[in-house]
């Protein structure tokens, strides 16, 4: 989390000596369950100790004045109810405000300085952290009375309507509901959830960032969603009650294979099997069988790469190295894909060797250094 004193100093520099309030919201990791959320499936994310933090106060006007430390102190203002800003980072603020207003809330103007340490482009959902931070702050500052679930939905709809990414709700839900030492088993259809203890003894979470920015992720994300919906539409002709891929079995999909585009079939098969893998991983976690959890994680990457088509050479390369290290229980790409991070579960005694081997081979292969990100499961959105 960014130092609050830095935020306070910048707030006073731009907006005067009044004491701001501080809010923070976390990025997230996801143990398993990728690209299942917008298909009504299951996910297993956790909030982490990398977050977006904000110094903020109402200003008694109808204008929002922003300073972004992540964009070299870029400053911008816009009028509530006016045109959407051209800058994407400001559009997150605009979108959250508009979604709240559409739900009947009265949001006043405010001054805010924000920044964070969620690695951008690493698949850790810095955008959801920002939306969750904004929503939590405005909810408190203007006494709006939104529930945590409503704040997660507001963040999701901000992505849909103002950013152009038809994301599921996993990222925002994890950022808001996360708790230290626990992962969130979330049913993305009903939004029922369970906070599951996650403290595997002698095992660390290792994130290795390929440093490949997933520039294709947003556009291809929407393509994958449409491909899944194509499969659902075929099944729906025979079972009208089917609304989401979550409702489709592998047997049903196979029975109608001839009616589904071959690529769309592969996408749908991945999602159905990924839900099965998540359930198997959760059952294994209850028995502290993290070797089985690791096997399911490896299988998830194989599906993401070969069936869902959202991996890339760099991600596959790092996972390939993991297979050669017995102390790595499981590794896979994490996030939207086409770049970003590999998440691995590694026995403590093997962490240093795995990281050193990845760094050496990655540099030799791609002539650049990967970034190792240390994370701990942490609390979600809150005033701090």
Question: What positions carry a catalytic annotation?
Answer: 171
Determine contact, residues 303/270, Cβ cutoff 8 Å.
yes
CA angle (135 as vertex; 129, 137 as ends), nearest 5: 100
Determine contact, residues 380/25, Cβ cutoff 8 Å.
yes
The β-bridge partners of 128 are none
Q: For residue 97, what are its two tokens?
A: 């405000």
Among 298, 281, 302, 299, smallest CA distance to 290 is for: 281
Q: For residue 253, what are its two tokens?
A: 């999909």
Determine contact, residues 174/184, Cβ cutoff 8 Å.
yes
C-alpha separations of 364 from 323, 358, 361, 369, 379 in Å: 18, 10, 5, 9, 38
9 contact partners, CB below 8 Å, separation of at least 6: none
User: How far, in Å, CA of 344 to CA of 298, rounded?
Assistant: 9
Determine contact, residues 290/329, Cβ cutoff 8 Å.
yes
Strand, helix or coil for residue 371? strand
Give the DSSP per-residue string, 306-367.
HTS----HHHHHHHHHHHT-TTEEEEEEESSSSSSEEEEEEEGGGHHHHHHHHHHHHHHHHS
């Amino acid at each position: 989390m960014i130092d609050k004193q830095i935020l306070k100093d910048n707030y006073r520099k731009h907006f005067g000596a009044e004491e701001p309030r501080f809010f923070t919201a976390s990025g997230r990791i996801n143990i398993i369950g990728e690209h299942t959320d917008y298909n009504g499936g299951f996910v297993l994310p956790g909030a982490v100790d990398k977050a977006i933090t904000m110094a903020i106060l109402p200003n008694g006007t109808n204008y929002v004045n922003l300073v972004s430390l992540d964009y070299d102190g870029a400053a911008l203002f816009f009028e509530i109810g006016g045109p959407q800003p051209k800058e994407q980072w400001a559009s997150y603020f605009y979108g959250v405000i508009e979604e709240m207003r559409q739900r009947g809330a009265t949001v006043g103007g405010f001054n805010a300085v924000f920044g964070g340490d969620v690695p951008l482009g690493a698949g850790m959902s810095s955008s959801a952290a920002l939306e969750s931070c904004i929503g939590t702050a405005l909810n408190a500052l203007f006494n709006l009375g939104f529930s945590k679930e409503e704040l997660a939905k507001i963040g999701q709809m901000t992505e849909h309507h103002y950013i152009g990414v038809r994301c599921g709700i996993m990222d925002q839900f994890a950022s808001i509901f996360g708790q230290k030492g626990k992962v969130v088993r979330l049913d993305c259809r009903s939004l029922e959830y369970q906070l599951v203890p996650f403290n595997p003894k002698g095992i660390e979470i290792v994130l290795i960032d390929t440093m490949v920015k997933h520039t294709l992720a947003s556009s291809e994300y929407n393509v994958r969603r449409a491909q899944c919906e194509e499969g659902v539409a075929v099944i729906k002709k025979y079972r009208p009650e089917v609304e989401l891929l979550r409702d489709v079995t592998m047997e049903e999909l196979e029975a109608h294979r001839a009616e589904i585009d071959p690529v769309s079939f592969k996408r749908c098969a991945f999602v159905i099997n990924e839900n099965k893998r998540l359930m198997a991983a959760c059952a294994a976690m209850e028995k502290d069988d993290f070797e089985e959890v690791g096997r399911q994680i490896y299988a998830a990457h194989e599906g993401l790469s070969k069936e869902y088509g959202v991996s890339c050479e760099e991600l596959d390369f790092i996972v390939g190295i993991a297979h050669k290290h017995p102390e790595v229980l499981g590794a896979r790409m994490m996030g939207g894909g086409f770049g970003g991070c590999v998440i691995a579960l590694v026995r403590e005694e093997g962490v240093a060797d795995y990281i050193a081997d990845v760094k050496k081979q990655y540099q030799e292969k791609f002539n650049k250094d990967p970034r190792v990100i240390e994370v701990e499961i942490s609390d979600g959105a809150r005033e701090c």
